[in-house]
């Protein structure tokens, strides 16, 4: 009997395991822990006796680090999977170096299981079709692209774009305060702008309408991912985030 393995049980790994466990025999491993059956891991990490069954898909869900590629290759060597899928956000070219597919997670932290079930999951790599039905059987809608670099870059651009939107919204709030204009008017303006262009069949020019949170950007996506790309907007986000 074949099984799947999830390495890294942070928010991404836990959510992915929750979604996949209804359809697959699942084993998981967290940093410093043992390989455990998923149902055992939920209560207490119990080492797998007799080794793992044959592994069909190895899911990599731990954060990127300087040893990331070596760590992935170590788990590939240990589990000998038919296919490896990296779900972490990584520098461009990392997944190819691991001979792995790349399929980043898009969604709302920390409720990522719901997001995985709802959002289209992009899978990058020349052999992405090998796992398309695997994810579909778990109720996940997929979009395939033939290069890992496509999904690696798209995920980095996605979080960087959010950083730009957040800092621009914070600056809009500062401008409103400066001139005594209620920020709520800008919110209404943007909603009407988007609704109007929707009626004109021009939804492509929709603008994000965020809440101005006047604190520094936190979390483990936007700022950490900036180091994976070179752009003037990276400098802008970092500069504005200090204001």
Domains, the chain, with CATH or none: 2-146 (3.40.50.720), 153-241 (no CATH)
Q: What is the pLDDT of residue 52?
A: 85
DSSP 29-74: E-TTS--EEHHHHTT---PPTT---EEEEEEE-SPP-TTHHHHHHH
Helix axis angle, 148-179 relative to 232-241, nearest 10°?
40
Predicted confidence band at 235 (pLDDT cuts at 50, 70, 90)?
A: confident
Report whether pLDDT(51) > 80: no
Predicted confidence band at 194 (pLDDT cuts at 50, 70, 90)?
A: very high
**15, 105 contact by CB (below 8 A):** yes
Report whether pLDDT(45) > 60: no
Cα-only R_g, the chain: 21
Q: What is the pLDDT of residue 232?
A: 83
* pTM exceeding 0.85: yes
Q: What is the pLDDT of residue 156?
A: 93
């Amino acid at each position: 009997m074949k099984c799947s393995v999830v390495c890294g049980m942070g928010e991404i790994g836990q959510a992915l395991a929750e979604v996949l466990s209804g359809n697959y025999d699942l084993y998981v491993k967290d940093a410093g822990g043992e390989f455990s059956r998923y149902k055992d891991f939920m209560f207490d990490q119990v080492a797998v006796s007799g080794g793992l069954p044959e592994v069909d898909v190895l899911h990599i869900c731990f954060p990127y680090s300087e040893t990331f590629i070596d760590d992935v290759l170590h788990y590939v060597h240990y589990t000998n999977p038919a296919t490896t899928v990296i779900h972490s956000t990584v520098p461009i070219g990392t997944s190819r170096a691991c001979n792995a597919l790349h399929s980043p997670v898009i969604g709302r932290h920390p409720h990522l299981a719901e997001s995985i079930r709802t959002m289209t999951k992009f899978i990058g790599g020349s052999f992405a079709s090998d796992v398309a039905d695997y994810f579909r059987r778990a109720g996940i809608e997929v979009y395939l692209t033939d290069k890992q670099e496509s999904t690696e870059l798209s995920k980095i651009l996605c979080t960087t774009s959010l950083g730009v939107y957040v800092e621009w919204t914070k600056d809009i709030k500062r401008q409103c305060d400066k001139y005594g204009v209620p920020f709520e008017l800008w919110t209404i303006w943007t909603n009407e702008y988007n609704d109007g262009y929707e009626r004109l069949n021009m939804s492509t020019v929709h603008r994000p309408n965020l809440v101005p949170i006047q604190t520094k950007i936190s979390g483990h996506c936007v700022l950490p991912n900036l180091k994976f790309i070179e752009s003037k907007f990276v400098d802008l986000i970092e500069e504005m985030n200090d204001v």
